[in-house]
Structure 1
Amino acid sequence: MIQFRSARVALAAAATGALALTACTADGAGPSGGDTNIVQGSGDITHVAAADRQEAPDLAGETIEGERLALSDFRGQVIVLNVWGSWCAPCIAEADDLVRVAEATADQGVQFVGINTRDNSRVNAAEFEEAHGVPYPSLYDPDGRLLLEFPRGSLNPQAIPSTLIIDREGRIAARALTALSEERLTEALDPVLQEG
């Protein structure tokens, strides 16, 4: 009986975590899940001073195309880590802006990496990337396990979409819990690029 109760508690905790991570947000909009009480992003971009930054976890796994990838493959570069789903309207809205910034900063030591989450089919994710001409890889994370690797209390992705900027030393420099325009992403990225 005790094992059954422990399993129920673990399942309830996992379901609560999954709900928190499935919040598809729009800039300043109300709850995106109707009456599901999902917490969504504030629309703010949080910046962290270099002395106060925490190490990002070395996320690793298979890409949508089935290739192995780890964030540590890009150590020494600034990483823009975008959490998205093909089903998420704000993700669709920001996709072309992210592609433009990725292309504009590719020769400045910036590497974009996506985390595709909550897509039960790689086909949907691949079609999304093809439709938007996404030039960078995305880790395929249908059950959100990679997102749970961020330490509790860290500047972690808490909504979909979320975008993190990771500095050249592998530390989280900024986080946006909202869809980003080309201008807002560029403004958040520029100070990290200037750190040299």
Structure 2
Amino acid sequence: MRSRRAGLAAVAAVALLGGCSSGSDAVDVNNGGEFRFVAGTPAAQVIPDTERASAPEFTGTLLTGETFRSTELAGDVAVLNFWGSWCAPCRVETPEFQQVYDEVKDDGVQFLGLNVKDYDQQFADAFVADEGITFPSLYDPEGRVALAFRDYPAAAIPSTIVLDRQSRVAAVYTGEVRQDDLRAVLARLSAEA
């Protein structure tokens, strides 16, 4: 009995430690065991060039009904923002992303919204219209694209993944991203050869 209690205590301790994180941006996302990401990128920082991994390719349907392929992002810096109409931080962040998008859209930077968990598209359409969003958004209620990014916290809403010109993951943010942080990251990635 004593060894059984000791074993249970050890399992509980491991479970508690497994949920701990080393920073305020860290996340332990467990969506059926699919996500293994453990820490977000610190504000206005970029993953070193030698440590970047290629982003997975994906396809989907935009809110406008058109087909979108991730290969359309190749050669540009790309901001992928996972959002939902029901998400309070998204209501703050998305209009700010629109402002940054307006500033950089002619400089080789693309934005793509990825609407997740809105099972009725009219909510996503209304959100985009109400917020005046002009960059495209993929309608992905089942989170298929989030699953493609299984090594990153795309299931945490909002979350943002920034790709470099080689379609590699250069920065990952969980939670709301401030405009100044996003501008700094985009400026750095845009300046890379």
* TM-score between the two structures when normalised by the length of structure 1: 0.75
1:186 equivalent in structure 2: 183
Secondary structure of 2:182's partner?
helix
Query: Which structure has the larger Rg over C-alpha atoms?
Result: 2
- Measure the CA separation in 2 of the matches of 1:84 and 1:90: 9
1:33 equivalent in structure 2: none
What does 1:29-178 correspond to in 2, within 5 Å? 44-45=42-43, 47-151=46-150, 154-178=151-175
- Measure the CA separation in 2 of the matches of 1:167 and 1:43: 14
Q: Do the aligned partners of residues 67 and 109 (structure 1) sit closer, same or farther apart at CA in structure 2, a change above 3 Å counting?
A: same
Query: How large is the Cα RMSD of the aligned pairs?
Result: 2.5
1:36 equivalent in structure 2: none
How far residue 59 of structure 1 moved from its aligned partner, in angstroms, is 1.7
Q: Does structure 1 residue 17 correspond to structure 2 residue 14?
A: no
- Measure the CA separation in 2 of the matches of 1:43 and 1:191: 14
Name structure 1 gaps, 5 residues minimum: 1-15, 22-39
Instruction: Tell whether the 8 Å contact from 2:63 to 2:137 is kept in structure 1 after alignment.
Output: yes
Instruction: Tell whether the 8 Å contact from 2:41 to 2:172 is kept in structure 1 after alignment.
Output: no
- Measure the CA separation in 2 of the matches of 1:41 and 1:68: 32
Amino acid at match of 1:95: T
Q: Deviations over 1:136-176 (max 9, x none)?
A: 1111110112111125xx34524110111101111000011
Instruction: Tell whether the 8 Å contact from 1:117 to 1:143 is kept in structure 2 after alignment.
Output: yes
Give 4+ residue runs of structure 1 displaced > 4 Å after superposition.
18-21, 40-43
- Measure the CA separation in 1 of the matches of 2:40 and 2:165: 27
Secondary structure of 1:127's partner?
helix
Q: Deviations over 1:58-117 (max 9, x none)?
A: 121101121100111121011100000000000111111100000100111000001100
**What percent of counterpart residues are identical?**
34
How far residue 188 of structure 1 moved from its aligned partner, in angstroms, is 2.0
Amino acid at match of 1:191: R
Q: Do the aligned partners of residues 18 and 141 (structure 1) sit closer, same or farther apart at CA in structure 2, a change above 3 Å counting?
A: farther
- Measure the CA separation in 2 of the matches of 1:78 and 1:65: 23
* TM-score between the two structures when normalised by the length of structure 2: 0.76
